[in-house]
Amino acid sequence: MSPIFELPSFDDLIADAVVVSLPMRVRFRGITTREALLLRGPAGWGEFAPFVEYDDEEAAHWLRAGIEAAWLGPPPSIRATVPVNATVPAIDASAVPELLERFPGSRTAKIKVAEKGQSLADDIARVNEVRRHIPNVRVDANGGWSVDEAVVALRALTEGGELEYAEQPCASVEELVRVRAAGTGVRIAADESIRRAEDPLRVVRAGGADVAIVKVPPLGGMRAVVALSTQLAEYGVPVVVSSALDTAVGMASGLAAAAALPELPFACGLGTGGLFVRDIAVVDPAISGALSVGAVEPDPSILAQLTATPERTAWWLGRVRRCHRILDQRGALNFV
């Protein structure tokens, strides 16, 4: 199929759609169950799973990404495996060893920090415990610090060892610029300032990022990630392809995007499948901290067990209809 094609009709889009509800091992992003709508098209499976708080305009990018996967398929790959990091939620330090058992062979870990209701001491204890098991650590504050808090925290967190980078320490571009200029010795990575921005290059042009975190669904697809990564390379900013807490189907798109990039200097954040009690397919485990690239076919028996309630299915179908209307207004889909 050409990378420019007409939007499938709503009826075609949902003909084989399944809404699933995946219980999680630990709370992550404030949720304990992850819902997703899986689409089936001529090229395979795609995923539509914008978080429930996102409005329809933002969620439409996620539908576009799901259509690309199911109707067009992935871009050409240049590697068969992608290195991935372990993901450590804002859990107590004592729970870290058990959680890391879900990420065998990982040499890099991303650790959530700046959780509401927790202290910097909690973050330090968690990071230092991860360091006992994994050599390379990075932290993700999800914009939870002020500039002053970020500077203090990053200096404290590096007393026990280096940080590979700090992801979105503050919410705004202007704050990221100030933290980066503060001389903490820690690279600053932008996530929300890229994937939730009208101009994803603004933070880089402003001097607020050393590393760019890119995610397939909010950017509108695998090819959009590859195109943005090419633009970022012109500024000397490397990318890390990360998960949006995807199911195995969505994760396949993230791995495909990462596999299409010329360079991958950092491990990607695509190992979050270990956070689910059960995923929609049995996939190969990470080997030496890397995941294989390839299409994923959901297991019908697992889908039957994880199918969401009729009420939640109706809610998701209504959301698809609204997002489909938004895409329809934009005309043909162009994935060039």
Asked if 142 and 112 sit in the same domain, the reply is yes
Asked if 186 and 246 sit in the same domain, the reply is yes
Rounded Cα–Cα distance for residues 118 and 121 (Å): 8
In the chain, % of residues over pLDDT 70: 100
Q: Which of 126, 215, 223, 324 is catalytic?
A: 215
Asked if 194 and 70 sit in the same domain, the reply is no
Residue 162, marked binder: no
- pTM of structure: 0.94
Is the pLDDT at 1 greater than 80? The verdict is no
Asked if 261 and 319 sit in the same domain, the reply is no
Asked if 286 and 162 sit in the same domain, the reply is yes
Is the pLDDT at 24 greater than 90? The verdict is yes
Return the SS3 of 31: strand
Asked if 145 and 239 sit in the same domain, the reply is yes
Asked if 12 and 33 sit in the same domain, the reply is yes
Asked if 33 and 93 sit in the same domain, the reply is no
Note if 112 is an active site residue: yes
State the CATH number of the domain containing residue 196.
3.20.20.120
Asked if 60 and 93 sit in the same domain, the reply is no
Asked if 60 and 90 sit in the same domain, the reply is no
State the CATH number of the domain containing residue 47.
3.30.390.10
Is the pLDDT at 2 greater than 90? The verdict is no
Instruction: Supply the pLDDT for residue 29.
Output: 79
Is the pLDDT at 268 greater than 90? The verdict is yes
* pLDDT tens, residue by residue, 60-76: 999 999 999 999 999 99
Asked if 189 and 86 sit in the same domain, the reply is yes
Residue 167, marked binder: yes
Count of domains in the chain? Answer: 2
Strand arrangement of the beta sheet that strand 86-88 belongs to: 86-88, 108-112, 136-140, 166-167, 188-190, 211-214, 239-241
Asked if 188 and 259 sit in the same domain, the reply is yes
Q: Which of 112, 180, 223, 319 is catalytic?
A: 112
Q: Output the 3-class SS for 65-129.
A: HHHHHHHHCCCCCCCCEEEECEEECCCCHHHHHHHHCCCCCCCEEEEECCCCCCCHHHHHHHHHH
* pLDDT tens, residue by residue, 92-142: 999 999 999 888 888 999 999 999 999 999 999 999 999 999 999 999 999
Residue 123, marked binder: no
* pLDDT tens, residue by residue, 230-251: 999 999 999 999 999 999 999 9
Note if 215 is an active site residue: yes
- Contact assessment for residue 130 and residue 160, using Cβ atoms and an 8 Å cutoff: no
Q: Which domain holds residue 271?
A: 81-292
